[in-house]
């Protein structure tokens, strides 16, 4: 993508159009729906009826919203790009419509994935994202020699194609796991009055969960809008750097917490606190080690990483420098965001969604404050740093709510010494490697 589009007006247009569905995709796919749905689904006495009732309610809302965006694309595009002129808005609006319909597909994927997670089957959801990437890569290969406008339209339609493939992959696994009868039975008895109270409880949990579990995504959304006030290419710098940031966050933090959440929710539901703590302890140190390595690599090797991944075609040396600066600021928040997501599992499993939402709201306000404070002196890098500061605040407040005693107990092990020693050694190694690579590539 960087080779075909670079970091310019057309790449900014595409990323802006993709921002709305991407925001909702992250909110749904990265846990808000599942973390609200799973405890209610586990406790439900009529699981199939409850599941189908929730699906119908959300699908109807999302389809209606998609039609609304289709009818008024300029209005919704302007909500994203506050400082863009009418010409840029008119170029972006049709792409906003195309990209937004991906949200309908990804909700189906998320719903089916939640049912599979209850069966402790995670592979399908993790793998299915590959189809989206394959579709986008195929579009880029086919249209790389075309003009930028054609490329961004091809990319937008490829996103829908990838979404359809994701849905089909999940339907296949649903059938293999024998869950089709759950959905069919739920549809047949969907009007059963006994689940009315369960649906009400879920609704009360879901919206706080969206806020509490999506601080990083909402902050990124706001950053993109604020970046429209900065120099051309700023939206793209944020997007490219965030792609690198999301790699360890998804592979490590999201994978661990996604796999862990059903186990913690079931343990707490069964009042087995010791089992829940053992799972938390293992995940805590695994997250610290893997995310710590990622932070050191992302900060000390930022420029070589961006050079290796992106600097070709339309992506210049200056683009590499600017994106590397943004990446370093993002990486400061990687460990806080990862650990905050881990500790928030306890809040969601104990149905403390409103408390998690309040914590997220405070961290989001802090993020917006520092974004406005830092965007002029630091540009796009200031927006990334503000997001990391918000993540640190979220971690501190989440740990406070869960209990500092629990956090201190996790630290009171020999793992702390090994962790610090390992980080110092790796830090020195990465710094030396960075000096060698900078001299080599420049």
Shared domain for 291 and 440, answered yes or no, is yes
Shared domain for 151 and 259, answered yes or no, is no
Shared domain for 184 and 219, answered yes or no, is no
Shared domain for 265 and 367, answered yes or no, is yes
Highest mean pLDDT among 259-263, 292-296, 404-408: 292-296
Shared domain for 218 and 350, answered yes or no, is yes
The residue from 195, 225, 257 where one domain ends is 195
9-55 pLDDT per residue, tens: 788 888 888 877 777 766 665 556 776 677 677 767 677 777 888 88
Shared domain for 241 and 369, answered yes or no, is yes
The residue from 195, 223, 253 where one domain ends is 195
Quick one: pLDDT at residue 209?
Answer: 67
Question: In the predicted model, what is the mean pLDDT of the chain?
Answer: 83
Shared domain for 78 and 180, answered yes or no, is yes
Q: Is the pLDDT assigned to residue 327 strictly greater than 90?
A: yes
Domains identified in the chain, total number = 2
Q: Is the pLDDT assigned to residue 197 strictly greater than 70?
A: no
285 in any annotated domain:
yes
Shared domain for 220 and 152, answered yes or no, is no
Are 42 and 265 a contacting pair, CB within 8 Å? yes
Shared domain for 244 and 385, answered yes or no, is yes
Quick one: pLDDT at residue 173?
Answer: 92
Q: Is the pLDDT assigned to residue 335 strictly greater than 90?
A: yes
Shared domain for 189 and 232, answered yes or no, is no
200 in any annotated domain:
no
Quick one: pLDDT at residue 213?
Answer: 62
pLDDT-wise least confident of 52-56, 182-186, 226-230, 379-383: 182-186
171 in any annotated domain:
yes
Quick one: pLDDT at residue 279?
Answer: 76
pLDDT band at 402 (very low <50, low <70, confident <90, very high): confident
129-178 pLDDT per residue, tens: 899 999 999 999 999 888 888 999 999 999 999 999 999 999 999 888 88
350-366 pLDDT per residue, tens: 777 778 888 888 998 99
Shared domain for 69 and 32, answered yes or no, is yes
Q: Is the pLDDT assigned to residue 422 strictly greater than 90?
A: no
Shared domain for 123 and 233, answered yes or no, is no
Q: Is the pLDDT assigned to residue 326 strictly greater than 90?
A: yes
205 in any annotated domain:
no
Q: Is the pLDDT assigned to residue 260 strictly greater than 80?
A: no
203 in any annotated domain:
no
202 in any annotated domain:
no
Residue 154's domain comprises: 1-195
pLDDT band at 236 (very low <50, low <70, confident <90, very high): confident
Quick one: pLDDT at residue 89?
Answer: 87
Quick one: pLDDT at residue 163?
Answer: 93
The residue from 130, 160, 195 where one domain ends is 195
For residues 430-441, give the mean pLDDT: 86
CA–CA distance, 134 with 185 (Å, rounded to integer) = 35
130 in any annotated domain:
yes
365 in any annotated domain:
yes
């Amino acid at each position: 993508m960087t080779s075909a589009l670079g970091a310019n007006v057309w790449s900014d247009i595409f990323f802006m159009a993709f921002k709305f569905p991407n925001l909702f995709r992250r909110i749904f796919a990265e846990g808000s729906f599942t973390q609200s749905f799973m405890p209610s689904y586990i406790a439900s006495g009529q699981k199939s009826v409850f599941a189908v009732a929730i699906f119908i309610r959300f699908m109807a809302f999302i389809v209606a919203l998609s039609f609304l965006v289709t009818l008024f694309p300029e209005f919704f595009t302007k909500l994203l790009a506050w400082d863009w002129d009418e010409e840029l808005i008119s170029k972006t609006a049709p792409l906003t419509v195309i990209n937004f319909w991906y949200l309908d597909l990804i909700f189906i994927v998320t719903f089916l994935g939640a049912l599979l997670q209850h069966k402790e089957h995670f592979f399908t959801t993790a793998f299915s994202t590959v189809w989206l990437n394959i579709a986008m890569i195929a579009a880029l290969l086919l249209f790389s020699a075309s003009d930028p406008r054609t490329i961004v339209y091809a990319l937008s339609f490829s996103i829908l194609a990838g979404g359809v493939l994701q849905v089909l992959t999940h339907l296949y696994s649903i059938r293999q796991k024998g869950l089709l009868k759950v959905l069919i039975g739920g549809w047949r008895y969907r009007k059963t009055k006994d689940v009315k109270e369960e649906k009400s409880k879920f609704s009360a949990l879901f919206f706080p969960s969206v806020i509490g579990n999506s601080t990083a995504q909402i902050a990124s959304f706001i950053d993109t809008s604020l970046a429209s006030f900065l120099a051309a290419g700023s939206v793209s710098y944020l997007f490219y750097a965030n792609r690198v940031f999301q790699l360890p966050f998804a592979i490590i933090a999201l994978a661990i917490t996604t796999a862990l959440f059903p186990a913690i929710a079931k343990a707490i539901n069964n009042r087995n606190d010791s089992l829940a703590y053992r799972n938390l302890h293992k995940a805590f140190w695994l997250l610290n080690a893997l995310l710590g390595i990622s932070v050191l690599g992302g900060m000390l090797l930022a420029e070589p990483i961006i050079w290796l991944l992106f600097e070709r075609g339309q992506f210049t040396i200056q683009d590499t420098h600017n994106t590397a600066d943004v990446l370093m600021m993002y990486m400061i928040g990687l460990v806080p965001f990862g650990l905050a997501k881990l500790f928030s599992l306890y809040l969601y499993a104990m149905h403390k969604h409103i408390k998690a939402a309040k914590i997220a709201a405070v961290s989001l306000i802090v993020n917006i404050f520092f974004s406005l404070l830092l965007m002029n002196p630091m540009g796009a890098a200031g927006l990334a740093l503000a997001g990391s500061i918000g993540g640190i605040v979220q971690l501190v407040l989440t740990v406070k709510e869960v209990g500092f005693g629990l956090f201190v107990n996790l630290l009171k092990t020999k793992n702390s010494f090994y962790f610090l020693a390992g980080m110092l050694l790796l830090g020195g190694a990465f710094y030396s490697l960075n000096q060698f690579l900078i001299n080599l590539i420049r």
